[in-house]
Structure 1
Amino acid sequence: MEKCLDVGDAQIAFTDEGEGDAVLLLHGSFSAGWLVPAGRRLVEDGHRVLNVHRAGYGQSKDLTRGVSVAAHAQHAVRVTEAADLRHAHVVGHSSGASVALQLAHARPDLVRSLVLLEAAFPYAPDEPKNPAMARAVEAAREGDYEHAFDLFLGGVSGPDFRKVFVRELGEDDLQEAVASSQYFFTAEGAAFAAWSFGSAEAATVTAPVLLVVGGEGERLSTPHRARSAQLASWLPHSETRVLPGVSHAMPLEDPALIAGTVEEFVARHNG
């Protein structure tokens, strides 16, 4: 059942389903649905799953037009408090993985383990330059947000990402994601670019971390392999896993693979 919290700078919706070890899901940009199919499998396999609609997406509202990464992390804290959780395994995808990192830094007591599916930030100095990203930003500047949406997600996920999206979430959710592209390009992008997270912050993360990288990223020349490698060099308790056959859209490309990857890591860190 969907619940809603008024947290001052935002109204945060979240779902809380199932029983067992708690898993907190923090989705990526454009859609609150990225982790829903994998979350459904986690519930079926005996986990309690909380899926947070981050401010600006799904049923949540950003009342400041560009909340900070620290604020997103604090919203997640408020959700755990509302759910009466002392700790949870945290799974983040893309920009949601960046929020998960901030959460683990700010509140290490809450995070039992951390699974990061291709964190969007921080940038790595040696990452490849994907020309689709620059074209997406230019299209957004010209007000063509749907084209910017296609360029951005096509650049990191390949040309079939719309088909994958509709297969798992439906046409209505795809159109909602397209509509959210204006928020992403005009508000969220700047807020995340202003986030400061480096080796000093990473050293405070005490939870074990799984860095998940899509095997198709190298073919698509996406930056996430380099970003994950940089995080691996900073995080004291991390390991990296490359999943073959999937790209940045991995939670929708293969929800069963993502759920299984999360479950295996969570099972090793339940103490």
Structure 2
Amino acid sequence: MPASRTAEPPHHVLPLPDGSLHYTQAGSGAGAPILLIHGSLCDYRYWRWQTPAFADRHLVIAPSLRGCWPDRRSHPQDGYAITRHASDLAHLLRALDAYDGAHVVGHSRGAQVALALACQAPELCRSLTLADPGFRFTDEPETPVFYADAVQRLQDGDTEGAIEQFIDTVNGADTWRKMVGWFKDMVRDNATTLLSQVREANLPVDPQAAAALPCPVLLVGGALSPAKYGTRLDRLQQLLPQARRARIALAAHGMNLANPRTFNRTVLEFVAGV
């Protein structure tokens, strides 16, 4: 894998009523647009193995969520919130004339943003792919915030320790030490977003709203992901019995990086069938 900041994709800036949104795009195929929504500690660079693969057939839109790199404003930020992210992305799709909707793909925290977008603006979502969502539902009790220690380390000035705790928790022990340089650069650039994210810890999803989704849904999990992500997918499958389910072999939470060939094929085959 390329190891540094030298291969960053070109980016665009969309002015918003109260700020701006950075994004990259590629392709212009005959297929409907694909919107890629990254998760915690990431930005649009996270999709480096998806953007070119999907661009052969589709316009691919990959934003950096409000507050993420290259946004240099300090955290915590009030605007770093699930519903605000969803509103920003609806604004982006309309600004790009995607009024007929996009195939929306969300990973981890980005899956909750994707779900919020589908609930806020269902006309903009042709389909929804949720990869390893981690949210709880309103009928479930709150759980301890798994990254509370990481937030405390950030506040104490131990950025590297905070990152290691977070990444190893979501993807498996010793993951951070083994990651390639470009990924580490990206995560370091977004480390302080946890100071904002913790304000929304345990933000729930209404199961009735999830069950009422009108668009086709694909539920994707990493075969080696921590068990909590599988429980979220199981519950969504109960709420959405018509949803398709896929398992990415040889991959944990970062499935689109660990096994991009299978992840890409899975998403493209689903999208083609919508």
TM superposition score normalised by structure 2: 0.83
Kindly indicate whether the alpha-carbon contact (under 8 Å) linking 2:26 and 2:51 is maintained by their aligned counterparts in 1: no
Match of 1:34 in 2: 46
Q: Distance in 2 between matches of 1:222 and 1:129?
A: 16
Paired residue for 1:120, among 134, 150, 153?
Answer: 134
Q: Distance in 2 between matches of 1:5 and 1:240?
A: 34
Identity %: 29
- Count of paired positions: 257
Q: Distance in 2 between matches of 1:25 and 1:165?
A: 22
**CA offsets 1:21-63 (integer angstroms, 9 cap, x no match):** 21011111112122221122111x3221000111111224669
Matched residue SS, 1:205: coil
Q: Distance in 1 between matches of 2:242 and 2:142?
A: 23
Kindly indicate whether the alpha-carbon contact (under 8 Å) linking 1:126 and 1:226 is maintained by their aligned counterparts in 2: no
- Unaligned stretches of 5+ residues in structure 1: none
Q: Distance in 2 between matches of 1:187 and 1:47?
A: 33
Match of 2:87 in 1: 74
Say if 2:266 is the partner of 1:268.
Answer: no
Structure 2 counterpart of 1:136, which letter? A
Question: Cα gap change, 1:176/1:242 in structure 2, threshold over 3 Å: closer, same or farther?
Answer: closer
1:246 is displaced (CA, Å) by 0.4
Matched residue SS, 2:106: strand
Say if 2:228 is the partner of 1:215.
Answer: no
Question: Cα gap change, 1:179/1:116 in structure 2, threshold over 3 Å: closer, same or farther?
Answer: same
Trace 1:92-107 onto structure 2 (pairs within 5 A): 92-107=106-121
Question: Cα gap change, 1:162/1:78 in structure 2, threshold over 3 Å: closer, same or farther?
Answer: farther
1:236 is displaced (CA, Å) by 5.4
Match of 1:59 in 2: 70
Question: Cα gap change, 1:211/1:83 in structure 2, threshold over 3 Å: closer, same or farther?
Answer: same
Say if 2:190 is the partner of 1:177.
Answer: no
Match of 1:200 in 2: 208
1:108 is displaced (CA, Å) by 0.9
Match of 2:243 in 1: 238
Question: Cα gap change, 1:245/1:161 in structure 2, threshold over 3 Å: closer, same or farther?
Answer: farther
Q: Distance in 1 between matches of 2:77 and 2:25?
A: 26
Kindly indicate whether the alpha-carbon contact (under 8 Å) linking 1:11 and 1:61 is maintained by their aligned counterparts in 2: no
Match of 1:19 in 2: 28
Question: Cα gap change, 1:188/1:137 in structure 2, threshold over 3 Å: closer, same or farther?
Answer: closer
Match of 2:169 in 1: 155
Kindly indicate whether the alpha-carbon contact (under 8 Å) linking 1:12 and 1:59 is maintained by their aligned counterparts in 2: no
Matched residue SS, 2:119: helix
Q: Distance in 2 between matches of 1:51 and 1:90?
A: 10
TM superposition score normalised by structure 1: 0.84
**CA offsets 1:218-266 (integer angstroms, 9 cap, x no match):** xxx4411111112222235422212221011112112222211110100
Kindly indicate whether the alpha-carbon contact (under 8 Å) linking 1:56 and 1:62 is maintained by their aligned counterparts in 2: yes
Match of 2:256 in 1: 251
Kindly indicate whether the alpha-carbon contact (under 8 Å) linking 1:38 and 1:256 is maintained by their aligned counterparts in 2: no
Q: Distance in 2 between matches of 1:208 and 1:165?
A: 35
1:128 is displaced (CA, Å) by 10
Say if 2:97 is the partner of 1:84.
Answer: yes
Matched residue SS, 1:188: helix
Match of 2:232 in 1: 227
Structure 1 counterpart of 2:232, which letter? R
Matched residue SS, 2:50: helix
Question: Cα gap change, 1:83/1:17 in structure 2, threshold over 3 Å: closer, same or farther?
Answer: same
- Unaligned stretches of 5+ residues in structure 2: 1-9
